[in-house]
Structure formats: structure tokens, C-alpha cells
Amino acid sequence: METKTLGILGGVGPLASVRFSEMMINMTEAKTDQEHIPLLMFNDNTIPDRTSFILGRSNIDPVPKMISGIKKLVDFGSNYIVITCNTAHYFYDQLQASTSVPIVNMIEEAVTAAILKKPGVKKIGVLATDGTVESGVYAKVIEERGLTCVVPSKNSQSVVMDIIYNQVKAGKDVDVHSFLKIIDELRHLGCDVIILGCTELSVINSDNNLTLHSGDIVDAMEALAQKCITLCGKKVK
């Protein structure tokens, strides 16, 4: 099978996009440079905040910037596109309609990975931004599979947002203890699997190996990387 080129629309946020590229490299079965997947990245940190727009706190629509970035990646030869932001998938249909090149849906891949992680799963917890939670993008996919979506309490959700925006995005030290307490809260609510549904939370995972040490945590960005490796004609380690 011919190796395909993957286009990465990044900058949403910038560090998460770089970590995704590292995942693609680290998770691909390859013995030489030439056996890796060609990656094109447009790390456009000027894309307006997706959560602010979805919740009506900003009137600056991020979609035109994202479509412009997708066009650049397509023009440079991308066979598949990924957007390294869970919240941005609220606009998935608009973005896919702007191009004939397939955009791999991170939400779909994360939920599929959660179901495969725990056969017989009934409740899936989701940790994500307010925009992702309020938009229901995860709840829709989870409920379409006949399962229940669970999100943190209001107070815990505010802690998740603080971790995402004021710690990871701000380049500050992360309060991992508080983050793990929220994961435990979802477990106590009966969640069989917990999805890290924000790429900033994927950064925390890559720094602390949460999915390696916990059998009930799924990293949406890891699930996306695994799917992309297969689509582009390679094998996952």
C-alpha cells in the first residue's frame, strides 16, 4: 500500500499539535526515517478560540481560519487531514464540506477506542472544555452507540477548564493531583471508561503516562494517531 501524507491543522493549541506529531512518529512501526509517514503541519495559533465562540462569549468565528488552513494543507498534497482540537469538531460538518480530502474525526475515533478498551462498557466519562461539553459533540456520538455520556460536576468542570487554559495552554506547571481527583470522581459516578477529550489533557497524559498505568483511560489524540497511522498505510507499534 502506498504511504499517504497526513496534513495536521494545528495551533489549537500549539503544544498539543507538536505532541500529536510525536505520537505519530513514536507509534509508527518503522526502522528507518524513510519508513515513517510524511507529515505536513500548519500550526496556526491565530485561529480564534473555539470554546469562546460556541458559548457566545466571542463573535469571532474560527471556521474561516480553519478552512483556510485546511486548504493550505490540501494544496501541499495532504491525503488526509486531522484537526488537533476536540472542540473544533463542533464545526466538523462545515469543515469537511469545504474539502474533498477526508478529515479524520477525532471524536468518533475516541469513542470507538473507549468501546474497544472495555467490552461491555455502559458509561463513558468525558473530560473536555466547556465548549466541547456544552456543544454535546461527545454525548451525541456516545448516545448514538447506545451508551451514557457522563461529565464532571460544575465545580470539577471549572477545575478542568483552569487546568486546560491557565496551566497547560499558559505553559505553567499542572496540578496533576487535582486532575486525578476529577478522574476518580467520574469513576465513582460509574464510568467504565474515561476519555481525555481535549488535546491539552493529552499533553498531561504524555507527560504522566496515564493511559499506560490506567486501564480505563482513553486519550482521544492517541486514538486519532492510531487511526491515522493505519489510514496512511503503516502499522501501529
- Which position among 149, 198, 228, 232 bears the catalytic label? 198
- What is the pLDDT at residue 202? 93
101 within domain boundaries: yes
Range of the domain at 43: 6-105+224-231
Nearest to 9 by CA among 52, 91, 66: 66
- Kindly state whether residues 13 and 116 are assigned to the same domain: no
Q: What total of structural domains would you count in the chain?
A: 2
- What is the pLDDT at residue 213? 86
- Kindly state whether residues 132 and 87 are assigned to the same domain: no
- Kindly state whether residues 92 and 120 are assigned to the same domain: no
236 within domain boundaries: no
1 within domain boundaries: no
Nearest to 39 by CA among 26, 55, 48, 51: 26
- Kindly state whether residues 54 and 144 are assigned to the same domain: no
111-124 b/e (C-beta count within 10 Å ≥ 16 → b)? bbbbbebeeebebb
186 within domain boundaries: yes
- What is the pLDDT at residue 164? 96
Cell numbers of 186, please? 467520574
Cell numbers of 162, please? 483552569
191 given a catalytic annotation: no
- What is the pLDDT at residue 13? 86
- Kindly state whether residues 96 and 110 are assigned to the same domain: no
- Which position among 85, 149, 191, 232 bears the catalytic label? 85
- What is the pLDDT at residue 69? 98
Report the CATH number that the domain containing residue 64 is assigned in CATH.
3.40.50.1860
- Kindly state whether residues 90 and 110 are assigned to the same domain: no
For residues 208 and 176, the answer to whether their CB atoms sit within 8 Å is yes
- Kindly state whether residues 136 and 52 are assigned to the same domain: no
- Kindly state whether residues 90 and 130 are assigned to the same domain: no
**Mean pLDDT (10-residue bins), the chain, 237 residues:** 93 91 96 97 96 96 98 98 96 98 98 95 97 96 98 97 96 96 97 97 94 93 98 97
149 given a catalytic annotation: no
